[in-house]
Structure 1
Amino acid sequence: MSRKTTITTLLILSAIVGIFAVSLWLHRDTPEDSSFIGTDSAVTEAIESAHDYEPWFSSVFTPGSGEIESGLFALQAALGAGVFGFAIGALWQRRRDVAGAPDLSAKATTDD
């Protein structure tokens, strides 16, 4: 490994360790049962405890169970990752076309 790659790797690892250490340090005074609750739960509890809370709308669809909700979330994440990957691939190919790089897929079909 080159010196530049080693330094970059060490900087990234130290940033990860630093972020982890700071997050633990910031939550040192919170009770054990509430230190890592999700923001959805915390905000929902805070909003619903307000006396003048009035919902703006009702849900169009409510999943029948937690498993269905989790599956729909996973499907949404997979579709988003697919769109993101397609966009990155399209931008990468466009950059190769503009740079004038040879098309390797055409060469692979003629060698068969």
Structure 2
Amino acid sequence: MSRNARINTLLLLAVAALAVLPLVLGLGDHKEEPFTGADGEAEAAITELEPDYEPWFSPLYEPPSGEIESALFSLQAALGAGVLAYYFGLHRGRRQGEERAKAATEDSDTATPAA
């Protein structure tokens, strides 16, 4: 197994462990809702400390169900990942193009014309 394959395998195992271990160990386990986000926990903490607190603003759009909210969040994450992948791919492609052009220029400079 090559060095890159070993590194990729270790990274894949680390990502799998980060995804599975919290579920297996019950980290972040709540009795009412097991997968509540930080927004819900923050709201609960604020209302516990200050019962008369009113938010400064309200959401522009409130999804009708948790499934739609989750789907919109996933779509947002996918779009962000797509933008990042496009940027890094474009940057890498330009760098490789510059390296090829530089190599072609060096090759043409080292070639001597026939006399």
Please, what TM-score do these two structures have when normalized by structure 1? 0.57
- Aligned-residue RMSD, C-alpha: 3.8
Q: 1:47 to 1:37 in 2, by over 3 A?
A: farther
Pairwise CA distance, 1:96: 0.4
Q: 1:85-112 deviations in whole A, cap 9, x for unaligned?
A: 111110110110121268xxxxxxxxxx
Which entry has the higher C-alpha Rg, 1 or 2? Answer: 2
Instruction: Provide the C-alpha distance between the structure 2 equivalents of 1:37 and 1:64, rounded to a whole number of angstroms.
Output: 18
Correspondence list, 1:78-89, <5 A: 78-89=78-89
Instruction: Provide the C-alpha distance between the structure 1 equivalents of 2:79 and 2:63, rounded to a whole number of angstroms.
Output: 19
Gaps of 5+ in 1: 103-112
Instruction: Provide the C-alpha distance between the structure 2 equivalents of 1:43 and 1:57, rounded to a whole number of angstroms.
Output: 15
Aligned amino acid, residue 44 of structure 1: E
SS in 2 for 1:49: helix
Correspondence list, 1:33-112, <5 A: 33=31, 37-38=35-36, 39-51=38-50, 52-100=52-100
The sequence identity of aligned pairs, in percent, is 41
Gaps of 5+ in 2: 104-115
CA contact (8 A) 2:29 2:35 kept: no
Instruction: Provide the C-alpha distance between the structure 1 equivalents of 2:30 and 2:59, rounded to a whole number of angstroms.
Output: 33
Instruction: Provide the C-alpha distance between the structure 2 equivalents of 1:31 and 1:62, rounded to a whole number of angstroms.
Output: 26
> How many matched pairs?
97
